[in-house]
Amino acid sequence: MIVMTPGASEAEVEAVKDRLATTGVHVVVLPGELTTAIGAIGDPEGVRELGLEGMRGVDRVVPISRPYKLASSELYHHEPTVVEVAGRRVGGGKTFALIAGPCTVESREQTLEVARAVAAAGASMLRGGAFKPRTSPFAFQGLGRPALEILAEARAETGLPIVTELLDANHADAIAEHADVVQIGARNMQNYALLEVAGKLGRPVLLKRGLSSSLEELLQAADYVLKEGNEQVMLCERGIRTFETATRFTLDLGAVPWLKLHTHLPVIVDPSHAAGDRRLVEPLSRAAAAVGADGILVEVAEDPEAALCDGPQALYASSFADYARDVAAHASLLGKTLA
Ligand code: PEP
Ligand code: MN
Query: Which residues does ligand 1 sit against, CB inside 6 Å?
Result: 103, 129, 133, 185-187, 208, 238, 270, 273
pLDDT tens track for 231-250: 999 999 999 999 999 999 99
Rounded Cα gap, residues 142 and 152, in angstroms: 16
DSSP code string of 213-248: --HHHHHHHHHHHHTTT---EEEEE--B--S--SSS
pLDDT digits (tens, 9 = 90+) for 130-151: 999 999 999 999 999 999 999 9
Residue nearest to atom 4 of ligand 1 (CA): 185
Rounded to 5°, the CA angle 157-163-166 comes to: 130
| Digit-coded pLDDT (tens) for 88-132 | 999 999 999 999 999 999 999 999 999 999 999 999 999 999 999
Mean pLDDT, the chain, integer: 96
Percent of the residues in the chain that have a pLDDT greater than 90, as a whole number: 91
Q: Is the pLDDT of residue 76 over 70?
A: no
Which strands, in side-by-side order, build the sheet including 36-41?
26-31, 36-41, 2-4, 58-61
pLDDT, tens digit (0-9, with 9 covering 90-100), for 274-293: 999 999 999 999 999 999 99
Helix, strand, or coil here: 12? Answer: helix
Atom of ligand 1 nearest to the CA of 103: 3
Ligand found nearest the CA of 209: 1
Question: Which residues fall within 8 angstroms of residue 328, CB to CB, at 6 or more apart?
Answer: 96, 98, 122, 337, 338
| Spacing, Cα 211 to ligand 1 middle (Å) | 10
Nearest to 293 by CA among 336, 249, 240, 230: 336
As a whole number of angstroms, the distance between CA 239 and CA 62 comes to: 30
How far is CA 110 from each of CA 101, 103, 115, rounded to the nearest angstrom?
Answer: 10, 11, 9
pLDDT of residue 64: 85
> Model-level pTM?
0.90
β 315-316/337-338 pair status: unpaired
Surrounding residues of ion ligand 2, Cβ less than 5 A: 103, 310
Express each pLDDT in 151-200 by its tens digit.
999 999 999 999 999 999 999 999 999 999 999 999 999 999 999 999 99
Q: Name the closest ligand to CA 133.
A: 1
The pLDDT score that the predictor gives to residue 46 is 86
Q: Which ligand does the CA of 186 lie closest to?
A: 1
